[in-house]
Amino acid sequence: MLMRIHNLKYVMVLIFTFHLFLQSGYTEERENKLNLTNNIVKNRIATIKDLIKDPNRLILMMETTEKALSNLKVESELWIEQKKTIEDNWKRTPMYCSSTAWFDGRIMDKIRIDVHKQVLEWREGAAPYGEDSYSLSFNGSEGREIHHKTGPYNKTFVIKEGKRIPETPSQLNTGWPITFTGAYFSFHFRFRNNKRFSSFSELFRASFSGNPEAHKYSKITFEEYQGVPCIKIGSGNQKWGWLAYWLDPYRGFAPLGYEKAIMQTDGRLEITESFRLKQLEEVAPNIWYPKEAWGERSPLAPSMPYTRYIYKANKVVANDPNLDDSIFTIELPDDYRIDDQVDEKNISRDNLKKPSSIEQQIEMIRIELLNISKHLRVLQDDVNRLKMQRNSEKRSTR
């Protein structure tokens, strides 16, 4: 009984502090300018320090926050900036993505993304940049893809092709969709491993169970980030480097910042990946999602540039009671050519417009090759990034 009373008092303190100071929303500038009294600051710090002494309670609170989200819809844009050296100024590139995404908070592998416009670098292609419009979905048992347009930047062609497969579309398992939808900057959908989303609480719990794959999340400390009292979760200093997240328990454990440093061959420690939130929105009670965030990555190779991602959410809807589960199954249009790998058949619609000349047939083949090359490029980037991390960790253990 005494333990229950103690837990109740703790929760009441947390709820009281949360409602007193955090209803109005968060921006980096606003938080830094808040004129909090010394007593308020001390109470917040004391509460956080008390929380990190009990990892099990911290995990339970994370799980409660995660379970509060049933579904999420995000309309967002992302711009890419680059520079050749770390001293240079950032320059906006044509690379860009506009999308609408749906996530299922209960069945974590359900997802759908409609990419309205995507412009990426076209390496060894017919133009410096390629442009695409497509949709990807997985409903828990079946994946679907439809491709509307593709081609050089500002010179796209209608292709009307689709695919139905008995697994998650491979592109959903890369880091790119997670970045341009804002999931990369969020608490709820930050990690995607083994074709599904993993939560902070899962990784955190695994780190205390002796799982070597989750050892990077076993160090818990208190630290202020941009003037905000936070729970710092990460690896601590290791031979290979370190990584850390700064979570704000007063805003649904939103990660206000993230940094990953890797030991380089010359013995220099370099921050190779990082992000910081510029604006948060409470989209449902104690559910916070990034409205604006900046992420940076170091070059994968000496010949490649530094990259910065500028993310902005135009509209975020959480826990919509009217969201139909069918949204996670993309409808296959009647006038699209469909490669059906579930029923093992190809569907060529009678009203599908056929190329009328050899030149158009050649162009269709070229566009299909373009799709393949872009997809391989995204996969290769992820492979290169993992190889660099693995090599750094191997060097540090010698």
Mean pLDDT, rounded, for 112-135: 92
**For position 17, what pLDDT does the model report?**
38
pLDDT of 212 reads 57
Dihedral pair phi/psi, residue 209, rounded to 5°: -100, 5
* Mean pLDDT, rounded, for 193-207: 73
At residue 363, does pLDDT exceed 80? no
pLDDT exceeds cutoff 60 at 252: yes
- Average pLDDT, integer, range 255-274: 89
pLDDT of 386: 60
- Name the residue with higher pLDDT: 41 or 201: 201
Flag whether pLDDT at 193 surpasses 90.
Answer: no
Question: How far is 253 from 287, CA to CA, in rounded Å?
Answer: 9
pLDDT at site 183: 92
User: What number is the average pLDDT over the span 223-228?
Assistant: 90
Half-sphere exposure of 32 (CA within 13 A, CB side): 8
Is the alpha carbon torsion for 248, 249, 251, 253 positive or negative? positive
Q: How far apart are the first and last CA of the chain?
A: 53
Residues of the chain above pLDDT 90, percent: 48
* pLDDT of amino acid 45: 87
Is 15's pLDDT higher than 60? no
Q: Return all residues near 26 (Cβ < 8 A) that are at least 6 apart.
A: 248, 251, 254, 277, 279, 280, 288
**CB contact at 8 A, 258 and 271:** no
Position 370 confidence tier, pLDDT thresholds 50, 70, 90 = low
C-beta contacts of 79-87 below 8 A and 24+ residues apart: 79/309, 79/310, 80/307, 80/308, 80/309, 80/310, 81/307, 81/308, 81/309, 81/310, 82/305, 82/306, 82/307, 82/308, 83/305, 83/306, 84/305, 84/306, 85/306, 86/306
CA distance 3 to 173: 43
Strands (E), the chain: 26-27, 71-83, 91-104, 111-121, 129-138, 143-152, 157-165, 191-193, 196-198, 219-225, 228-234, 241-248, 254-263, 269-284, 287-297, 306-318, 337-340, 345-347
Question: Which H or E element spans position 330?
Answer: none
Question: What pLDDT does 195 receive?
Answer: 60
Question: Rounded CA gap, 150 and 156, in Å?
Answer: 5
Give pLDDT tens digits for 78-98: 999 999 999 999 999 999 999
Model pTM above 0.75: yes
**Residues in Cβ contact with 128 at an 8 Å cutoff, skipping those fewer than 6 apart:** 94, 121, 122, 153
pLDDT top residue among 282 and 373: 282
CB of 59 closer than 8 Å to CB of 84: no
Encoded amino acid at 55, one letter: P
Residue 178's DSSP bridge partners are none
Residue 348 vs residue 112, higher pLDDT: 112
State how far the Cα of 237 lies from the Cα of 26, in Å rounded to an integer: 30
Could you give the 3-state DSSP secondary structure of residue 5?
A: helix
Cα–Cα dist 292/280, whole Å: 7
Q: What is residue 318's predicted lDDT score, i.e. its pLDDT?
A: 96
Confidence of residue 188 (pLDDT cuts 50, 70, 90): confident
Is the per-residue pLDDT at 42 higher than 70? yes
Give me the residue spans of the domains in the chain.
67-335+345-397
Q: According to the model, what pLDDT value does residue 377 have?
A: 59
